[in-house]
Structures are given as C-alpha cells and as structure tokens.
Amino acid sequence: MPQIQLDAAQRAAIVHAVRDVRIAPPGHSFNVSVGAQVPPSIELNYLPIAALSQAPEIRALKYTMVQNQVVLVDPTNMRIIEVIRPGQ
C-alpha cells in the first residue's frame, strides 16, 4: 500500500474518533515507526466510522494505540503506514 497523505484536520478527526474507543493496549512494545513491521501478536482494530468519513483513503487500514499514539497498520503485510500523535 502506498504512503497516505493526511492533512491536519483528518489526523485530528482520527485521533478524536478513536479516543473514546476502549481497546486493550499492546501486551509488549515494538518499533513504532512508519514502515516497521507490527508483531502478529498485536491485536489490530477496525477504524471507527467517524474516522473513515473524514479520511476514506484509510478504510483498508486497521489501528492500535501505543503510548497515546494512533498507529495505522496495513493488515495485509502488518506494516505501519502512519503514526498520529495527538496535537500533530
């Protein structure tokens, strides 16, 4: 999957949409950088509709939360596509 380009409003909408969703944090740490591989033991979650309505180009991605960051992952190859920090 190619890199995605999210503007500030889309990033804010994604952070806002997932902020209220309670997901279990990953059981162990891993490299949180674009292009890094996510361990198969990390549970990925579907993005909320509110996030997809603001950024439809991310509909094929899933996410997890790591230290208050939204980590967007391509579930087909388990690679990190984007890392969104609150207030970014």
DSSP letters spanning 27-88: SS----STTPBPPTTSPPEEPPHHHHHH-GGGTT-EEEEETTEEEEEETTTTEEEEEE-TT-
How does pLDDT run across 54-85, given as a tens digit for each residue? 999 999 999 999 888 999 999 999 999 999 98
- The whole-model pTM stands at 0.88
55, part of any domain: yes
Q: What's the CATH number where 36 sits?
A: 3.10.450.160
14, part of any domain: yes
38, part of any domain: yes
- Identify the pLDDT of residue 86: 79
- Identify the pLDDT of residue 20: 77
How does pLDDT run across 27-60, given as a tens digit for each residue? 677 889 999 999 988 999 999 999 999 999 999 9
* Number of domains comprising the chain: 1
